[in-house]
Structures are given as structure tokens and as C-alpha cells.
Amino acid sequence: MAIREGCWDCGSCGSVANRGRAVNCPRCGLPRPEGTRFYLPEDAPEVTDEAQLARARAGADWVCEHCAASASAQEADCPGCGAPRGASGTQEVHDYGPDEIPRDGGDRRAAARAAAALPAKRRSPWTGRGVLAAIAAMLWWFLAPHEVSAVVDAKSWNRTLEVQAYRTVRESDWAVPAGGREVRSYRAIREYRQVLDHYESRERQVSERVQTGTRTYTCGTRDLGNGHFEDRTCTEPEYETRYRTERYQEPIYRQEPVYATKHDYDIERWVRDTVLAAAGEADEPAEPADPAWPVTQLRERQREGERTEKYVLRFRDEDGDTYESPVALDQFQKLRVGAPVRIKVSRAGSVELLQE
Ligand SMILES: [Zn+2]
Ligand SMILES: [Zn+2]
């Protein structure tokens, strides 16, 4: 692990870039005080001299509690006053991350941060909400209904009546219901069941993560507290994804029919016989269209079934445009041809009759 010599600045006389190992300022001669901030220039060379390496590895320098002289950890007594080290304080040992190592004596980072904090760009008014509002306004114009004055131009109605007959029909089922007369019975497939047939041997690729070793890398720098810096090394496991072919047994199923006895039988049911229709229309006020149900004479074994009814009014507005709309029976009977009405027309074409 490489050890490099850093620098320090003298706070008394302003001398900068003093060699890290110097315990006194080379210009004013004052001792390097406790709390000195060491830094490591980018181009600091690696230390190779054995004696200097031993001094760097001995530990943090100390500052004499009696005379404030600065001393290496290799020294047991103060080089200034000769007193033993005792409870003298030491320079701080500090670990830096890869991007945190101080490269010079002053704090120039604050200025860099201030320059980076530029004012945010102004947004164009045509982004986001402005465009959405414009689209909503256009949609509203296309889809919003508008009211118009119109007259009833024509009326038409349509009614149907189903006639059912009680008849013998042939049906088939898994059991003969009450009233049914069996014609024949036979074996038939009622459902299918999934049955395990056999296993098939197959192959598939499986992956697994295998640790292949460990990687050592420089993860920062340690300020040794004596004017020297040492690279910090960290390790992390290295992995590799490996594939292998695996054999496995896959179950294969087959569909097996399940048989049961089915019956054909005759039975009496109400079924649709005919659908009768009645319709009428009018486009003159003198001839009101009065809806009526289709008339029929029910014979024996016949009855009435479902009824349907539909009433449609056609309106004509002042521009001559016509619109058709289904209405309820009471509105249909109340409004004669030529009667004035207010209608609500959507731009998609649907019409709603407004009640007076
Ligand atoms: Zn100085
Ligand atoms: Zn001393």
C-alpha cells in the first residue's frame, strides 16, 4: 500500500506547501501546531526511503504539552524541552473516501458549490397544464350539446306481440324431467378428466451465481497524522453466473372421456309460434297516429308471449335539419305533428326532447 508525503500550511507566517514530515515551519521556524490540516497534492510522489516509511508507519505525531514542540511518534521525549511524552495530544488520523481527499490547503469547494447552484430554467407556458386546458376546451366545443327550437315533423310507432303455442318438442338430457316421455337412451361423453399418463425426461438450463474470488481495490486514503497519507484498500467478492443443463421429469396428462347415459325424450313446452307486428306513421297534424296492439284470435293451446313497443318522433329545426329520437308513449300521444318543441342536440347527433 503506497504511502505518499503530503503538505501543510503554516498558520503563523503564511508559508504554504510545507513538506509533510517537517515538524517546524521552514520559514518562521515555529513548531507545527496540534490540529494542523494535512493535504495531498495530486502529484505527490510515493515514499520509498525506508527510514521515512518507518516514521510514517510509527503513528501520528504528537505535540508537547509543556513547550508545544512537535515530535514524531518514534520519539519518546520532547525534542524541545526534553520532557517525556506523557499525556501530550496527537495529530488526528482521518480516513477519506476516494473523492474526499483534500488536495490543497484552503476550502475551495464552497465556491464550486455556489457556482453549480444556477437558477432553474423557466418553463414554457405551452407545456403541461396549458396544453391540457386547450385540448379540454376543444373537446367541449365538439361534444357539448346545444338547444334548438324545432317542430314535430313526423311520428312513427311499432309494436310486436309474440304468440306462443303448447307443443311437443324433442329434447335430450342426462335425466328425463317430469312430463317427459323417453324415446331412446344411449351412452355419451359427459365430460373429460385429466389423467396422468406418463413422465417425460426433459432438459432445461439453470443459472447460478458462483463466487469466483475476491477483488482488492483502492477505496480511499488515510491521513496518518504525521504528514503522510496511505492508500486504503478494500475487498469485495467477485461473482460469475454459470449455466448448467438440468434433467427433470415432466408429467404428461391425457384427456379421458367420462361416459354417462343420455336420454332423448318428448315433452310439452310453450314455444314461440309467431310474432305479430303493428305499425303506423303520420306526417300531417290531421291524422294522429294512435298506437294499437296487434289483434289476434288465440286458438286452443296458444297464449300471448313477450310484447315490445317503440315510439319515434322526427323533429325539424329552423334550418330544415331533421333529427329522430325515441320517446315515451305519453310524450308520443301528447305531441301532434306541427307542435313546437325545444330539443337538445349533441354534436355527435343524439337528440333529447326537453320537457316544457
Ligand atoms: Zn511559518
Ligand atoms: Zn517540550
Residue 29 CA to ligand 1 centre (angstroms): 6
Give exposure, 81-101, as e/b (b: 16+ Cβ within 10 Å): eeeeeeebebbeebeeeeeeb
Q: Which of 74, 105, 101, 49 is closest to 230 using CA atoms?
A: 101
pLDDT in tens, 146-157: 888 899 999 999
Q: Which of 319, 275, 161, 227 is closest to 23 using CA atoms?
A: 227
Q: Does 298 lie in the same domain as 161? A: yes
Q: Does 301 lie in the same domain as 154? A: yes
Q: Do residues 227 and 21 make contact, with C-beta atoms less than 8 angstroms apart?
A: yes
Residue 62 covered by a domain: yes
Residue 63 CA to ligand 2 centre (angstroms): 8
Q: Does 6 lie in the same domain as 91? A: yes
Q: Which domain holds residue 331?
A: 150-165+272-354
If pLDDT is split at 50, 70 and 90, which confidence band does 133 have?
confident
Average pLDDT over residues 186-198: 96
Look at residue 115 and tell me whether its pLDDT is greater than 60. no
Residue 56 covered by a domain: yes
Q: Does 39 lie in the same domain as 87? A: yes
Number of domains, the chain: 2
Share of the chain above pLDDT 90, in %: 69
Residue 88 CA to ligand 2 centre (angstroms): 9
* pTM for the full predicted model: 0.44
Residue 252 covered by a domain: no
pLDDT of amino acid 110:
41
Q: Do residues 197 and 264 make contact, with C-beta atoms less than 8 angstroms apart?
A: no
Q: Does 156 lie in the same domain as 18? A: no
Residue 21 CA to ligand 2 centre (angstroms): 18
Q: Do residues 256 and 51 make contact, with C-beta atoms less than 8 angstroms apart?
A: no
Q: Does 277 lie in the same domain as 161? A: yes
pLDDT of amino acid 118:
43
Q: Which ligand is nearest to the CA of 84?
A: 2
Q: Do residues 42 and 138 make contact, with C-beta atoms less than 8 angstroms apart?
A: no
Name the one residue in this structure whose C-alpha cell is 505525531. Answer: 61
Q: Report which DSSP code applies to 104.
A: S
Q: What are the φ/ψ torsions at residue 175 (nearest 5 degrees)? A: -150, 150
CA of 331: how far to CAs of 60, 115, 148, 310, in Å?
103, 77, 18, 12
Residues that place a CB less than 5 A from ion ligand 1:
10, 12-13, 15, 25, 27-28
If pLDDT is split at 50, 70 and 90, which confidence band does 70 have?
very high
Q: Does 160 lie in the same domain as 95? A: no
Q: Does 16 lie in the same domain as 113? A: yes
Residue 19 covered by a domain: yes
Look at residue 119 and tell me whether its pLDDT is greater than 50. no
Look at residue 112 and tell me whether its pLDDT is greater than 60. no
Q: Which ligand is nearest to the CA of 8?
A: 1
Q: Does 30 lie in the same domain as 111? A: yes
Average pLDDT of the chain?
A: 89
Residue 30 covered by a domain: yes
- Quick one: which H or E segment has residue 141? helix 129-143
Residue 255 covered by a domain: no
Look at residue 284 and tell me whether its pLDDT is greater than 90. no
Output the furthest CA–CA distance in the chain (Å, rounded).
138
Name the one residue in this structure whose C-alpha cell is 477505496. Answer: 219
Q: Does 79 lie in the same domain as 8? A: yes
Spatial separation of the C-alpha atoms in residues 41 and 292, rounded to whole Å? 106
Residue 72 CA to ligand 1 centre (angstroms): 19
Joined together, the cell numbers standing for residue 192 give: 373429460
Name the one residue in this structure whose C-alpha cell is 385540448. Answer: 135
Q: Does 156 lie in the same domain as 58? A: no
pLDDT of amino acid 129:
76
Residue 192 covered by a domain: no
pLDDT of amino acid 288:
60
Q: Which ligand is nearest to the CA of 17?
A: 1
Joined together, the cell numbers standing for residue 339 give: 307542435
Q: Does 73 lie in the same domain as 155? A: no
pLDDT of amino acid 141:
74
Residue 74 CA to ligand 2 centre (angstroms): 15
If pLDDT is split at 50, 70 and 90, which confidence band does 120 have?
very low
If pLDDT is split at 50, 70 and 90, which confidence band does 61 have?
very high
Look at residue 128 and tell me whether its pLDDT is greater than 80. no
Residue 234 covered by a domain: no
Residue 24 CA to ligand 2 centre (angstroms): 13
Spatial separation of the C-alpha atoms in residues 341 and 352, rounded to whole Å? 11
Joined together, the cell numbers standing for residue 88 give: 501530550
